[in-house]
A and B are shown apart, each in its own frame.
Chain A
Amino acid sequence: MKLVFGEGSCGIAAGARKVRAAVEKLNADGAVGVGITGCIGMCYLEPIVDVYDGGTLVKRLVKVDEAAAPALYEAAKTGDLAPLAKYEISADDREFLEKQTRIALRHCGLIDPEDIAAYEAVDGYKAIRKVLAMTPEDVIAEIKVSGLAGRGGAGFPTWFKWNAARNAKGEQKYLICNADEGDPGAFMDRAVIESDPHSLIEGMLIAAYAIGATKAFVYVRAEYPLAIVRLEKALAAAKKAGLLGENILGSGFSCDIRIKAGAGAFVCGEETALIESLEGNRGMPRLKPPFPAEKGYTQAPSNINNVETFANVAWIILNGGAAFAAMGTETSKGTKVFALTGKIKRGGLVEIPMGLTLRDVIFGIGGGIRDGGTFKAVQMGGPSGGCIPEHLLDTKIDYKALGATGAIMGSGGMVVMDSHTCMVNMARFFLDFTAKESCGKCVHCRIGTKRMHEILTRITEGKGKEGDVELLQELCNGIKAGALCGLGQTAPNPVLTTIRYFRDEYDAHIREARCPAHECAALKKYEIDPAKCKGCTMCAKKCPVGAITGTVKQPHVIDQSKCIKCGQCAATCKFGAIVVG
């Protein structure tokens, strides 16, 4: 039997490598097969170990710690898996995967990402062989049939971009893969590169052939070192197999792919800023038009697609565009990957056909809110997106339907919030992000986001003024209309959607100096419940400003004028007597 360890970044962080090392130590005689795979997307269950018998998965073990190593080794050696029962994945957790339809993630967590033969064994590099016998026009036509749209955020039809780059005039054309994955809370691109790098390479080769590009780049964010290592290995293996470089598989088509590391700038996810960065400059967006299809990298025709977009391409070629288009809704075809995070019970990567509802994903697959909390909102599209409230949970996952809520499909970040999350503070958090990441080229974005952040900050500090919400709205409209690039144009979205759906929270902060979620520190009010206080004096001793007074064994009181709301009393009290309001 063979033990396969899930070694994506999450698995490694949870200790997968330590468990494997412990097993390998016992396995000096090699009685047991040991292998690795990427990320299956069930972050909440890491580390995950799969037991294979002759190529078939016989058991999936979860939350496996180092202490389990001897049992793992013994079981795999003897074939008696009964002692591992306590690690076996539960039926509920199995549902997390069973309810998904995986195309972009089809191999993630199932094959060894560092072994090209493993990819070839699951029909890898068959699509490129098929494509090399087709005309580029036919390839583009097949992608058109599929209805594939860009998964990086904007959702632009992929065939259209390929066609524009194909028809653009220029000797040298470039293909670029956007692996900057800037939305904090989204990690599907990382998972694809770490777990199935060859499917990205194959998708890129097909695109390069369709467009007529002979040079390609993958722009990977510097925060993803493992992705860079795995992709480097995969590129070297593909090159050795004649799948990359000059005269690929004797077809006369040549294409080289190089990795370029980003350096931590959110705006570099925007395509023209990314191109500037590739050229070695500050990542300042360019004015569009001209679009990259005409004048991109070094002013030559270029096409940029997202990692997940490319990951679908080989599947579409092998199974036909119609099979892809058969899934989804009128305006959104195929599947989409979401990164489910925040206050969710089962967090991880979820790939589902378009057209399911948000409720299906958050409650049906994600299992609802963790720790018995209540759902408040889901944030989609990161700093460019918005918050969708409870009454819209039956919204279909579809570019148009999500857009109508004021949020966006985005790259697939789905951050779930419960009743303890203050929506004004969330808006402040995103504006803090965009204000810091604004490249500073245009005034609307540079100064507008800063002003919005200041206003939101003062509201969360209880210093908001009547009229602040209207002022925010005015600024939002101005920035949307005036900003140069997508960063600024979408930066107001988190503010606009929270005002639209949670206006009452803004009003409570401004008019009553009250934070309904009890999150904003400055607005918290600490009081002692005399019925519960035993007069143990612990809180009075802990209080750094001497705001708590009282005699021993008598209920104490907090002097509100002295209290700095540090919360140390509440953390110290053993009797739950401190009431936070």
Chain B
Amino acid sequence: MSKELEKMTPELRAFIEEWKAKPGNLIMVLHRVQQTYGYIPREIAIETSEILGVPLAKIYGVITFYNFFRLRKAGKYNIQVCLGTACYLRGGDDVLKEFEKQLGVGLNATTPDGMFSVEAVRCLGCCGLAPVAVVNGEVHGKLSTKDVENIIAKYCAEG
């Protein structure tokens, strides 16, 4: 499968240049890359490595260490189901399985049409509303497996 290569945007280049001289910049830069593309494309990582003068191996090491960074594009709607202790106790894993079942994808995978991806996260700090899922920043609380269908339908309708 051929894939179109991402191009580094001028804004991103300017950001990296600005942060280049500041120590400990790598994680900030990677956050910005992910903000721009929704993931960290290999070709951008290579360019970043060249601008910063940091070996690509180190960048790869950092990306893979942190759960937040991803090497593959997420779906248009990224569904993050909390599996923190409070959510797990109140059935977070059932909610997660229901999303996987209804969307027909596994964990950390994206539907073929690129609409949805499913991830598990540790505690979103809304434990009072457990179990919780976040879709593109919007928090859905007090979930049960019965809510899953409606949530998917809602985002499908938004297109």
A interface residues with partner B (beta carbon < 8 Å): 9-10, 12-14, 43-44, 46, 181-187, 190, 222-225, 260-266, 277-283, 298, 339, 341-343, 347-348, 379, 382, 413, 415, 417, 421, 429-430, 433, 439
Contacts and interface: CB of A to CB of B under 8 A. Distances in A.
A185 B87 CA distance: 8
Given A12-B139, A379-B85, A415-B85, A264 B68 contact: yes
Contact of B90 (A43, A186, A278, A342): A342
Given A185-B84, A222-B68, A263-B27, A342 B89 contact: yes
A277 B30 CA distance: 13
Nearest to A223: B124
Contact of B128 (A181, A260, A347, A430): A347
6 contacts: A223-B125, A225-B137, A263-B27, A263-B69, A264-B121, A265-B67
B86 A298 contact: no
Given A260-B24, A263-B31, A280-B25, A10 B89 contact: no
Interface in B79-104: 82-90
A209 B128 CA distance: 36
Contact of B86 (A12, A44, A185): A185
Given A187-B126, A265-B65, 8 more contacts: A9-B139, A10-B141, A13-B126, A184-B83, A223-B122, A280-B23, A282-B61, A342-B90
Interface in B106-152: 121-130, 132, 137, 139-141
Interface of B: 23-28, 30-31, 61-62, 65-69, 82-90, 121-130, 132, 137, 139-141
Contact of A260 (B27, B62, B85, B89): B27
Contacts of B128: 10, 43-44, 46, 187, 341, 347-348
Given A223-B125, A341-B127, A280 B27 contact: yes
Nearest to A349: B128
Contacts of A264: 66-68, 121-122
Contacts of A382: 85
Contacts of A343: 89-90
A245 to B, nearest CB: 17
Contacts of A9: 124-126, 139
A46 B129 contact: yes
Nearest to B87: A184
B127 A187 contact: yes
Contacts of B130: 341-342
Contact of B28 (A223, A261, A417, A421): A261
B27 A261 contact: yes
Interface centre among B61, B85, B90 (most CB of A within 10 A): B85
Interface centre among B68, B123, B126 (most CB of A within 10 A): B123
Given A9-B139, A13-B141, A263 B30 contact: yes
Nearest to A348: B128
Contacts of B67: 263-265
Contacts of B126: 9-10, 13, 43, 187
A278 B24 CA distance: 6
Nearest to B139: A13
Interface centre among A283, A342, A348 (most CB of B within 10 A): A342
A266 B123 CA distance: 11
Nearest to B64: A282
B141 A223 contact: no
Contacts of B61: 282
A474 to B, nearest CB: 26
Contacts of A43: 126-129
A14 B86 contact: no
B28 A260 contact: yes
A417 B141 CA distance: 20
A225 B126 CA distance: 12
Given A185-B127, A282-B61, A342 B85 contact: yes
A262 B139 CA distance: 20
A220 B139 CA distance: 19
A206 to B, nearest CB: 25
- The 10 closest A-B CB pairs, nearest first, are A43-B128, A184-B84, A13-B139, A184-B123, A264-B67, A263-B66, A280-B26, A264-B68, A341-B86, A263-B68
Contacts of A10: 126, 128-129, 141
A14 B143 CA distance: 12
A184 B86 contact: yes
Contacts of B23: 279-280, 298
Given A12-B139, A184-B85, A225-B137, A433 B122 contact: yes
Contact of B123 (A223, A225, A260, A417): A223
Contacts of A265: 65-67
B137 A277 contact: no
B62 A281 contact: yes
B142 to A, nearest CB: 8
Contacts of A14: 129, 141
A184 B84 CA distance: 5
A184 B121 CA distance: 10
Nearest to A191: B125
A428 to B, nearest CB: 11
Contacts of A341: 85-86, 89, 127-128, 130
Nearest to A297: B24
